């Protein structure tokens, strides 16, 4: 059960969670970081670069040089900066975030989910399966030495009435020490 649950969670992490995080980061990059970077560079152009080259005729600076620098900065932002940020986020997602989520889910599976499933199965075994398998009309025989301990996982033979040798296939009831009630479950 644990490997199945663990495998399912790891599959969901790789096929659902990671693509969602990846898509979210790409959306944040395009919708927030790139405009911020672009705006910052444009601001720097207007407040620092243009005044520095203001020694040229103002008409040339405003109409030619600054627009050229602005276009260049936008082009660099779109062609270089944004892909770099995007690639960095995707790399971090694949190499750090997803393994962390995967490890956390594996830990939760081992530490919480599996014990819960195991406890539930044991509880159902003790409270439902064993009583049903031992009482008529499911099995016609009766026995004064019925012992539920024979049927509680991990199926230990804790009392003298339970003789393990009686329950090894082919099951044969040939000796007085073989109590049918101890051998109801498959072994």
- Residues 113-160: pLDDT tens digits? 777 887 787 777 767 766 665 543 333 333 334 444 444 433 334 444
Same domain as 108, residue 147: no
**Which segments in the chain show pLDDT lower than 70?**
1-14, 53-61, 126, 129-187
> For residue 34, what pLDDT is reported?
74
Same domain as 114, residue 68: yes
Same domain as 164, residue 96: no
Same domain as 43, residue 91: yes
pTM above 0.75, yes or no: no
Same domain as 117, residue 41: yes
Exposed / middle / buried, residue 133 (Cβ in 10 Å: 0-12, 13-18, 19+): middle
- Name residue, tokens 């969901």: 12
Instruction: Please say whether the beta carbons of 150 and 105 come within 8 A.
Output: no
User: How many independent structural domains does the chain possess?
Assistant: 2
Same domain as 123, residue 147: no
Same domain as 122, residue 152: no
Percent of the chain with pLDDT over 90: 0
Same domain as 65, residue 99: yes
Q: Which residues of 47-61 are buried (b: 16+ CB within 10 A; e: fewer)?
A: eebbeeeeeeeeeeb
Of the three residues 90, 110, 134, the one that is the final residue of a domain is 134
Domain extent at residue 61? 2-134
């Amino acid at each position: 059960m644990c490997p199945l649950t663990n495998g399912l969670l790891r599959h969901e992490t790789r096929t659902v969670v990671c693509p969602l995080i990846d898509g979210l980061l790409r959306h944040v990059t395009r919708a927030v970081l790139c405009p911020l970077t672009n705006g910052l560079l444009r601001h720097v152009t207007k407040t620092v670069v243009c005044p520095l080259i203001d020694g040229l005729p103002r008409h040339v600076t405003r109409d030619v040089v600054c627009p050229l620098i602005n276009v260049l900065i936008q082009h660099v932002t779109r062609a270089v900066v944004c892909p770099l940020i995007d690639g960095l986020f995707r790399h971090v997602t694949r190499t750090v975030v997803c393994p962390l989520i995967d490890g956390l889910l594996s830990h939760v599976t081992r530490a919480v989910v599996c014990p819960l499933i195991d406890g539930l199965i044991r509880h159902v075994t003790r409270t439902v399966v064993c009583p049903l398998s031992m009482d008529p009309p499911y099995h016609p025989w009766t026995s004064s030495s019925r012992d539920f301990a024979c049927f509680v996982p991990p199926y230990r033979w804790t009392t003298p009435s339970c003789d393990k040798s009686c329950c090894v296939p082919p099951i044969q009831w040939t000796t007085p020490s073989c109590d049918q009630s101890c051998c109801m479950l498959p072994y």
